[in-house]
């Protein structure tokens, strides 16, 4: 118990310098000292004692509040004597333990050693005081209610007290625990379990450039702790956050190993998936890092993640507009006897793939093909066409006489492995504590060849040092190395061809596995998914971070601390792209020969090398002091300088010897010899910032915070490179008001706080030296006399006033805690107004001017939303405890102003004008129904095109919304929300019983639609094959019936007849709302007794599943699998068709994993 407390205190110190004070020194015997002080606060006395001795004090600031001033005059007196004299009037109790002076809660009126009143006969009551986990509590006070009589429990938690009657009531109390009352009863024996006062009340939260007590936090800040994080098992830290942070939208687009293809944003502000506006700012241990760095962290090294969503981020200034994700890594803990922990954990997963498209077989393909041919009005009415495929042929495939090829099955496997290993050591002493971490993970892919695969090593060494009692330091060193391998053929093309190649085509020419069959576009998936044949892409990232920090308590001014920090980050991306020429064959039956065709010739290898160096320096002064026992003041002043340098080069050469290295290239082949540099990757940037924060609270009741940041960047013109970003936050912790405490007991209403914040933040992600006019070289050029001559290209016309976009964020929130954790929650409302979003000001500029203006600060938008978090925690008996936490976030974005060219008609104005309109609207026709019979088609009085001659039962019809008698592209209206869901929620359920524990994370999204393209949207796309779902279609009962004959009997289905127009609008756009069991973990911790015998401290084993089950209306596709992005027709200039988001629907699928794992500590 004691050790745990010390450890907790040490951690708190590291976190909240000044809120809880602790000064550590070792001493063997009680020292004597001389003190002379008049009318000073107790804390001053402690300071003097601390300075003159090596005693440490342990107390909570709240205890000293309201204690009277004291005067002490002692000559060479023992510490205890001095303390006793001070504490005379303070209603505090102290206790010297080891070298620590514990100052405790108001003691019982009479000390335990007070004489027992001479009344007889006394009943001796015995008992044990324990905490919820059954550990004994030492030093708990046991008082007879209504008397002054009391004792203190011993090291085993035992106590013995004499009472007058069995009806007497005993009151048990201990710092940090809920007071408990119990009647003595007949047995004279009592077993008392004290519950912790909601520990979260004393939690600290990492905020920008510091930490704050959770109860004092005024901003919208969400925290995910290590144990909450790691319960989800995934290779990407971002995926492990899904459903855990209210207001954070996370969508895992694919589970492709090493692609980390997860899109996320905070409150819909700015996503990592698009370059502009910029993604949330990622800060790892105080250092700005990339989204990819966050994804690639070893989850075990993370202590906690704070997400700043409002003006609390203003302290990050010009980069903060889209929120900040702060990651803090683990530190070692002081261990009194120098003991250390070694923990090894492993996780073995099997990945299963969700909604991998299934393709039709030969007979199905031919049936669909014949239908589409019959469906053709022209050919069927003008002259009835014979079917392309005869019944006998279809039958041959249906009966297996002829073999269909299942391309997808030929390249994929059902399960793919993934594993993670982690070894860490932590420990500490008075002088040093440390945390070392080594992690490894590897992930295989769904391809049978495993040609896509990924592995990663993570390393971290965090060391904290106490040099002297005033000077402390830390050294943080970390890095990762990872490698992704993939076949040269892009992954999406492998899926595309596996989905659309004909099932009647063979994989191998003449079915001879030595001869890959030549397929259209030279695309045979079996070959494409095999790096040995087509070549391999290897992407390696190496990242190193080294950080040194020193902090120094400045003598003379209590509470003033100077800090300095320097971080050096270096990363290298080292890629090798190998294109191998390969052979494909056709079999020439007439001559019994294999005709070869060599494709992708010549073979070539390309190396790409990118380096980045970043340094960060911070110097700061921190001040924390309480005045007059009521006014708490914290202040921070910080100077920061950031330097970034990036460089790169690429080299390429063809090779013919089969050795894919540059040295073995074909030196004479200048056509494929390239040496390149990406001019945009040539970075040289400096930013300087002055940062300040001032916190004030009065008795923890009225709280206020002001922060600012003055940012200067070399990216802007000298006249406009500095920007000022202030933030103000206020709060009222009404639960601390005496009037409210009288109305509602503080043990019922533990906490109620109202807060508001407003700040100005910036976003400079979209800008890069656009104020400089001039030419870039070499730009697009021409071949003159056979020699390539690079061109010079004007940069365009700069707007000298161009600057970052400004966002102003308002947040109003409330936090409450009731009944020690039974109910807790947070409510947030936010509104962000953004102005100066850069856009090219050519909407009004006639093209004849020839001016190519660069961006100017033109557009604006508004984002509004709310978040709700509710928590519930409860213990039933000693062994069973559970907790529930639910969160939900909603966010909507609207164009406040959008610069646009004047529309040419009122209708176009309605359709294309964006100002004042919500973003991410899906426009489309509204399906009114589908035709079920010929008579319905004949009576239909609107023209769906071509006078409805080419319409058959099963076809959709749409509403003529503009009532012009024709149903066409002018009948579109907003029909859905695209790209990212508006509403996101998560529910975490946790329970433990004895050694067992269960965690479930339910996560979902609503208000979000998808439409799929290409192969997922229609059968026989590009005259190729089809997916099986399209067999569920309207078709004639008799396959040979004429589709345009009114007497034909139809069989209904989900899709229109093959060959009909693709579904449009609401018939095609699907609601992708979903609820899924993101995480399920069941664990068992072996009993400590058993383990200590074999020298193991703890051992936990578990089974886990990721994406176990999903509830959605969506058919044949995973809801997180992205569909088509924006519809360019609606004039939305900011979100246009981005092939990379969904890759036409051919993106590598999502996965579900089943894992077993264990972690063991020595």
Partner 1 sequence: MKQLKYIIAIAAAYFLASCHKLNVPPLNIISEDQVFSSANGVQAYLANIYTFLPMEDFVYEPNGGFMTGNGGRWQCFYQMDAIDGEMAGPYGGTGDAAQGFGFWPYDRIRVINILLADLPKYANLYSQAQLNEWLGEAYFCRAYTYFALVKRYGGVPIVNTVADPNATPASLQVPRDKEEDVYNFIGSDFDSAYALMWAPGVAGNPGIQLGAANKYAAMAYKSRAMLFAATIAKYGAANYVDGPARAAGFVGIPAADANKFFQASYDAAKLVEGNFSLYTGGYPDKVQNYVDLFLKPNNEWIFIRQYTLSDPNVNNDNAGPHSWDATMTCRIMTGDGLSRTYPDLDYVERYGSLPIVNADGTPTRFNNLSDITIGLEPRLQGTIYFTGNTLRGVTFDQQRGIYKTFTGSAAQELSDNLNSPNDVYAQYPDTNSSANLIFASDPNSTYRNHRVIGRAGFNPSTGDDNTRTGFYLRKYVNYNAAASACGLYQSTQSYVDMRYAEVLLNRAEAAYELGMTGDALADINQIRDRAGAVEATASMTLDTIRNERDKELGFEHQYWWDIRRWRIADQVLDNRKLYGLMPYYIATENKYIFIKQIETFQRTYTFQKLWYYEPLPGGELGKNPNLYPNNPGY
Among 769, 940, 1084, 1154, binds partner 1 (CB under 8 A): 769
Q: Binders of partner 1 among 373-402, rule CB under 8 A?
A: 373, 378-379, 382-383, 385-386, 388-390, 393
Which residues ranging from 1003 to 1022 are in contact with partner 1 (CB under 8 A)? Answer: 1022
Q: What is the DSSP letter of 359?
A: B
Coil, strand or helix at 47: helix
- Is residue 544 within 8 Å of residue 571, measured between CB atoms? yes
Closest distance of CB 1025 from partner 1, Å: 12
Q: Among residues 747 and 768, whose Cβ is nearest to partner 1?
A: 768
Site for partner 1 (CB under 8 A): which residue of 104, 686, 884, 1096? 686
**Which uninterrupted H or E stretch holds 1?**
none
Note if the bond before 121 is cis, omega within 30 degrees: yes
Token pair recorded at residue 1007: 């208000």
Q: In the complex with partner 1, which residue's Cβ is closer, 149 or 709?
A: 709
Asked if 849 is part of the footprint of partner 1 (rule: CB under 8 A), the reply reads yes
Stretch in the footprint of partner 1 (CB under 8 A) among 21-29, 90-98, 245-253, 840-848: 840-848
> DSSP string covering 294-322, please?
HHTS-GGGEEEEEEE-SGGGGGGGGG-TT
Residue 446 dihedral angles phi and psi, to the nearest 5°? -75, -10
Q: How far is the CB of 500 from partner 1 (least distance, A)?
A: 11
970 or 1113: whose CB is closer to partner 1? 970
Is residue 332 within a helix (H) or strand (E), and if so which, with residue range?
none
Q: From the CB of 839, what's the least distance to partner 1, in Å?
A: 15
Smallest separation (angstroms) from partner 1 to the CB of 834: 25
Where does residue 1085 rank: exposed (0-12), middle (13-18), buried (19+ CB within 10 A)?
Answer: middle
Which of the residues 955 through 984 are near partner 1 (CB under 8 A)? Answer: none
Least separation in angstroms between residue 585's CB and partner 1 is 12
Q: Which of residues 503-522 bind partner 1 (CB under 8 A)?
A: 520-522
Is 1103 among the residues that bind partner 1 (CB under 8 A)?
Answer: no
- Provide the token pair at 475: 């050294």
Burial of 1067 (0-12, 13-18, 19+ CB in 10 A): buried
Task: Find the shortest distance in angstroms from Cβ 643 to partner 1.
Answer: 5
**Choice from 136, 417, 559, 564 touching partner 1 (CB under 8 A):** 564
Q: How far is the CB of 780 from partner 1 (least distance, A)?
A: 3
Output the CA torsion sign for 475, 709, 553, 212: negative
Q: Which of 1023, 1061, 1087, 1140 binds partner 1 (CB under 8 A)?
A: 1023
> Which is closer to partner 1, CB of 659 or CB of 772?
772
Site string for partner 1, 687-706 (x = CB under 8 A): xx------------------
Asked if 684 touches partner 1 (CB under 8 A), the answer is yes
CB 274 within 8 A of CB 253: no
Binding flag, residue 1129, partner 1 (CB under 8 A): no
* Contacting residue, 195, 540, 721, 1100, with partner 1 by CB under 8 A: 721
Angle at the Cα of 20 (from 17 to 24), degrees rounded to 5? Answer: 80
Residue 343 contacts partner 1 per CB under 8 A? no
The residue written with tokens 């001095």 in the block is 82
Determine the Cα–Cα distance for residues 508 and 500; give it in Å rounded to an integer: 17
Q: Is 566 a residue that touches partner 1 (CB under 8 A)? A: yes
* Closest separation in Å from C-beta 278 to partner 1: 19
Q: How far is the CB of 1119 from partner 1 (least distance, A)?
A: 31
Q: Applying CB under 8 A, which of residues 75, 167, 902, 939 lies at the interface with partner 1? A: 902
Stretch that binds partner 1, among 22-30, 113-121, 672-680, 1076-1084 (CB under 8 A): 672-680
Scan residues 88-147 and list those touching partner 1 (CB under 8 A): none
Of 463, 903, 1135, 1160, the one binding partner 1 by CB under 8 A = 903
Instruction: Decide the pairing of beta strands 536-553 and 471-487.
Output: antiparallel
Q: Coil, helix or strand for 1072? A: coil
Q: Is 447 in the site for partner 1 (CB under 8 A)?
A: no
850-879 positions binding partner 1, by CB under 8 A: 850-853
Binding residue for partner 1, selected from 8, 410, 599, 911, defined by CB under 8 A = 599
3-state secondary structure 842-878: CCCCCHHHCCCECCEEEEEEEEEEEEEEEEEEEEECC
Q: Does 676 bind partner 1 (CB under 8 A)?
A: yes
CB-based contacts of 1145, cutoff 8 Å, min separation 6: 1012, 1013, 1014, 1015, 1016, 1017, 1121, 1123, 1124
Give me the 770-809 binding string for partner 1, x by CB under 8 A, dash otherwise. --x-xxxxxxxxxxxxx-xxxxxxxx-x------------
Note whether 843 binds partner 1 by CB under 8 A.
yes
Q: Does 592 bind partner 1 (CB under 8 A)?
A: no
The stretch among 218-226, 258-266, 585-593, 1049-1057 that binds partner 1 (CB under 8 A) is 585-593
Residue among 778, 803, 802, 800 nearest 791 (CA): 778
Dist. CA 1061–CA 1069, nearest whole Å:
15
Q: 530 to 549, contacts with partner 1 by CB under 8 A?
A: 548
**What residue ranges in 949-995 does DSSP mark as E strands?**
956-958, 973-977, 983-993
CB-based contacts of 1009, cutoff 8 Å, min separation 6: 922, 975, 976, 977, 978, 1069, 1070, 1071, 1072
Binding residues among 253-282 for partner 1 as defined by CB under 8 A: none
Element housing 492 (H / E): helix 491-500
What secondary structure, in 3-state letters, does 372-413 show? HHHHCHHHHHHCCCCCCCCHHHHHHHHCCCCCCCCHHHHHEC
State the number of binding residues for partner 1 (CB under 8 A): 103
C-beta closer to partner 1: residue 336 or 851: 851
Which of the ranges 174-182, 406-414, 468-476, 915-923 carries the binding residues for partner 1, by CB under 8 A? 468-476
Least distance from partner 1 to the Cβ atom of residue 1034, Å: 21
User: Measured between alpha carbons, how far is residue 959 from residues 747, 941, 971 in Å?
Assistant: 61, 12, 7
Element (H, E) at 1135: none
Task: State which of residues 550, 973, 1041, 1096 lies at the interface with partner 1 (CB under 8 A).
Answer: 550
Applying CB under 8 A, the span of 218-226, 308-316, 683-691, 1002-1010 interacting with partner 1 comes to: 683-691
Give least dist CB 845 to partner 1, A. Answer: 6
Q: Closest CB to partner 1 among 363 and 734?
A: 363
Cα–Cα distance measured from residue 1113 to residue 35, given in angstroms and rounded to the nearest whole number: 77
Pairing state between β 324-329 and 281-284: parallel
Among the listed residues 74, 178, 845, 1158, the single contact to partner 1 using CB under 8 A = 845
The tokens for 553 are 């308590």
Smallest distance from partner 1 to CB 349, Å: 39
556 contacts partner 1 (rule: CB under 8 A): no
Considering the rule CB under 8 A, would residue 671 count as an interface residue with partner 1?
yes
Q: Least distance (Å) from partner 1 to the CB of residue 379? A: 5
Q: Which is nearer to partner 1, 146 or 718 (CB)?
A: 718
Considering only residues 607 through 626, tell me which ones interact with partner 1, judged by CB under 8 A. 615, 617, 619
Identify any residues that bridge with 346 across adjacent strands, giving them in sequence order: 421, 1158
Under rule CB under 8 A, residue 682 binds partner 1 = yes
Q: Which is nearer to partner 1, 432 or 991 (CB)?
A: 432
Helix (H, G, I), strand (E, B) or coil at 1024: coil
Q: How far is CA 454 from CA 66, 92, 525, 540, 574, in A?
A: 61, 60, 21, 10, 15
| 685 near partner 1 (CB under 8 A) | yes
């Amino acid at each position: 118990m004691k050790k745990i407390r010390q450890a907790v205190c040490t951690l708190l110190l590291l976190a909240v310098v000044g809120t809880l004070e602790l000064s550590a020194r070792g001493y063997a015997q009680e020292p004597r000292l001389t003190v002379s002080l008049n009318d000073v606060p107790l804390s001053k006395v402690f300071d003097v004692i601390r300075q003159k001795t090596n005693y440490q004090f342990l107390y909570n600031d709240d205890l000293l509040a309201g204690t009277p001033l004291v005067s002490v005059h002692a000559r060479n007196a023992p510490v205890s004597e001095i303390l006793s004299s001070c504490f005379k009037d303070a209603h505090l109790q102290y206790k010297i333990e080891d070298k620590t002076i514990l100052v405790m809660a108001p003691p019982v009126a009479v000390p335990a050693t007070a004489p027992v009143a001479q009344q007889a006969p006394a009943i001796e009551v015995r008992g044990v005081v324990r905490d919820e986990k059954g550990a004994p509590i030492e030093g708990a006070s046991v008082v007879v209610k209504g008397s002054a009589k009391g004792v203190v429990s011993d090291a085993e938690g035992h106590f013995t007290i004499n009472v007058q009657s069995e009806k007497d009531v005993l009151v048990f109390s201990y710092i940090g625990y809920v007071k408990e009352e119990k009647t003595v009863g007949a047995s004279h024996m009592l077993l008392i379990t004290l519950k912790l006062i909601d520990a979260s009340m004393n939690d600290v939260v990492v905020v920008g450039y510091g930490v704050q007590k959770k109860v004092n936090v005024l901003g919208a800040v969400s925290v995910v702790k290590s144990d909450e994080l790691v319960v989800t098992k995934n290779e990407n830290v971002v995926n492990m956050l899904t459903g855990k942070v209210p207001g954070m939208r996370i969508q895992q687009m694919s589970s492709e190993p090493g692609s980390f293809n997860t899109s996320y944003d905070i409150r819909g502000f700015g996503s990592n998936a698009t370059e502009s506006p910029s993604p949330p700012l990622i800060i790892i241990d105080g250092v700005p890092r990339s989204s990819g760095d966050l994804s690639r962290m070893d989850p075990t090294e993370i202590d906690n993640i704070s997400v700043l969503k409002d003006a609390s981020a203003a302290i990050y200034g010009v980069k903060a507009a889209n929120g900040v994700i702060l990651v803090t890594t683990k530190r070692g803990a002081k261990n009194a006897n120098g003991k250390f922990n070694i923990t090894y954990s492993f996780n073995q997963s099997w990945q299963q793939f969700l909604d991998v498209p299934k393709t039709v077989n030969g007979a199905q393909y031919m049936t669909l093909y014949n239908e589409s041919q019959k469906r053709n009005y022209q050919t069927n009415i003008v002259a009835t066409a014979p079917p392309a495929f005869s019944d006998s042929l279809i039958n041959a495939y249906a009966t297996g006489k002829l073999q269909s090829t299942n391309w997808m099955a030929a390249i994929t496997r059902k399960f793919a492995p993934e594993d993670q290993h982690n070894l860490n050591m932590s420990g500490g002493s008075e002088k040093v504590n440390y945390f070392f971490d080594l992690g490894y993970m590897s992930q295989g892919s769904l391809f049978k060849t495993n040609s896509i695969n990924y592995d990663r090593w993570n390393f971290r060494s965090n060391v904290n040092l106490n040099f002297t009692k005033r000077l402390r330091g830390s050294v943080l060193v970390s890095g990762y190395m990872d490698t992704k391998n993939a076949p040269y053929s892009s992954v999406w093309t492998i899926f595309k061809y596996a989905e659309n190649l004909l099932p009647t085509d063979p994989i191998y020419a003449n079915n001879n596995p030595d001869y890959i069959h030549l397929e259209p576009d030279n695309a045979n998936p079996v070959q494409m998914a095999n790096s040995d044949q087509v070549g391999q892409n290897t992407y390696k990232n190496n990242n190193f971070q080294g950080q040194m920090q020193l902090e120094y308590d400045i003598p003379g001014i209590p509470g003033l601390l100077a800090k300095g920090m320097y971080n050096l980050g270096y990363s290298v991306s080292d890629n090798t792209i190998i294109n191998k020429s390969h052979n494909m064959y056709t079999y020439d039956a007439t001559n019994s020969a294999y005709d070869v065709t060599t494709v992708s010739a010549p073979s070539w290898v390309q190396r790409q090398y990118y380096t980045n160096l970043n340094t960060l320096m911070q110097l700061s002064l921190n001040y924390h002091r309480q005045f007059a026992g009521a006014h708490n003041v914290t202040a921070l002043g910080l100077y920061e300088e950031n330097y970034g340098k990036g460089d790169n080069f690429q080299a390429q050469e063809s090779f013919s010897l089969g050795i894919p290295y540059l040295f073995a290239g074909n030196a004479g082949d200048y056509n494929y010899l390239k040496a390149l540099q990406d001019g945009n990757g040539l970075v040289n940037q400096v930013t300087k910032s002055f940062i300040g924060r001032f916190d004030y609270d009065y008795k923890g009741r009225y709280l206020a915070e002001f922060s600012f940041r003055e940012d200067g960047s070399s990216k802007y013109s000298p006249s406009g490179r500095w920007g000022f970003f202030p933030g103000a936050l206020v709060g009222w912790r009404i639960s601390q008001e005496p009037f409210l405490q009288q109305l509602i007991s503080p043990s019922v209403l533990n906490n109620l706080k109202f807060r508001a914040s407003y700040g100005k933040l910036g976003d400079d992600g979209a800008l890069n030296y656009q104020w400089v006019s001039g030419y870039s070289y070499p730009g697009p050029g021409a071949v003159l006399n056979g020699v390539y001559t690079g061109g010079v290209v004007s940069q365009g016309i700069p707007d000298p006033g161009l600057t970052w976009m400004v966002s102003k964020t308002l947040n109003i929130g409330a936090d409450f805690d009731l009944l020690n954790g039974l109910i807790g929650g947070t409510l947030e409302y936010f509104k962000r107004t953004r102005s100066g979003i850069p856009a090219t000001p050519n909407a009004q500029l006639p093209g004849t001017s020839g001016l190519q203006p660069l961006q100017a600060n033109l557009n604006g938008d508004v984002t509004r939303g709310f978040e709700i978090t509710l928590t519930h925690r409860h213990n039933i008996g000693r062994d069973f405890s559970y907790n529930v936490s639910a969160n939900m976030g909603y966010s909507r974005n609207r164009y406040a102003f959008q610069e646009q060219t004047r529309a040419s008609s009122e209708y176009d104005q309605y359709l294309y004008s964006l100002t004042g309109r919500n973003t991410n609207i899906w426009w489309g026709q509204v399906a009114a129904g589908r035709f079920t019979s010929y008579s319905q088609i004949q009576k239909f009085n609107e023209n769906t095109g071509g006078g409805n001659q080419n319409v058959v039962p099963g076809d959709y019809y749409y509403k003529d919304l503009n009532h012009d008698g024709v149903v066409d592209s002018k009948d579109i209206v907003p029909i859905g929300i695209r790209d990212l869901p508006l509403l996101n929620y998560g529910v975490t359920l946790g329970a433990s019983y004895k050694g067992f524990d269960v965690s479930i994370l339910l996560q979902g999204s609503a208000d979000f639609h998808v439409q799929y393209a290409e192969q997922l949207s229609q059968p026989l796309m590009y005259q190729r094959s089809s997916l099986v779902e399209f067999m569920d279609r309207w078709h004639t009962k008799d396959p040979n019936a004429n589709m345009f004959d009114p007497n034909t009997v139809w069989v209904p289905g989900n899709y229109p007849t093959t060959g009909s127009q693709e579904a449009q609008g609401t018939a095609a756009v699907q609601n992708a709302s979903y609820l899924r069991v993101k995480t399920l973990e069941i664990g068992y911790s072996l009993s400590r007794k058993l383990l200590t015998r074999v020298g193991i401290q703890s051992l936990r084993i578990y089974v886990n599943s990721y994406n176990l089950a999903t509830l959605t209306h969506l058919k044949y596709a995973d809801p997180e699998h992205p569909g088509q992005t924006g519809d360019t027709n609606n004039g939305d200039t900011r979100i246009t068709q981005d092939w990379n988001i969904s890759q036409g629907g051919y993106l590598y699928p999502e996965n579900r994993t089943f894992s077993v794992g264990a972690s063991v500590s020595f």
